[in-house]
Amino acid sequence: MNERILSVLVEDKPGVLARVSSTISRRGFNINSLSVGPTNIDGRSKMTIVTELDTVEQVKKQLNKLVNVIKIVELDPDMTIETEVLLIKVSINKDTQTLVIEKAQLSNARSVDVGQDFAVFELTGSSKDLDKFEKLMKPFGIIEMVRGGRIALQTNQ
């Protein structure tokens, strides 16, 4: 696995996301995922950035130069809890309805909304779990799907 996860503590100021993403794109870094949200500390947000092994050091150093970036921690994969969220709208009919819902339940997906010809499920888990679930639903017809960025934290500091 060549993926590395960075946990980036930033000041919650206008334009911080733009600064971070502009730094990443102008230096030509590859990133697989970026998510941002508030933390328990006032005025601080946290970004989770998933990048590749060969660029991680430079990504860290260049992001550290941003005045609004406070701290960057590379998470140790062995001590990291990582999760991602997925919302998926699947096409159903009388024949498939039960099967689809059953499969979703077995995958620990929550059904959020069920209409006459569609069902919406929500699933959180590792990227692999989400990939698997997507594959599982594909034969029934995916109408729309959205995945949130990956978020992570270390269990043991």
Smaller CB distance to other proteins: residue 62 or 96? 62
Cβ atoms within 10 A of the Cβ of 28, count? 8
Nearer to other proteins, 10 or 86 (CB): 10
CA distance 34 to 21: 9
- Report how far residue 95's alpha carbon sits from residue 82's, in angstroms, rounded to the nearest whole number: 36
Residues lying near other proteins in the complex (CB under 8 A):
10-11, 14-15, 18-19, 22-23, 26, 57-58, 61-62, 64-70
Encoded amino acid at 130, one letter: L
- Are 157 and 81 in contact, with CB atoms under 8 Å apart? no
Our CB check for other proteins shows the closer of 1 and 18 to be: 18
From the CB of 67, what's the least distance to other proteins, in Å?
A: 4
Shortest reach from residue 149's CB to other proteins, in Å: 22
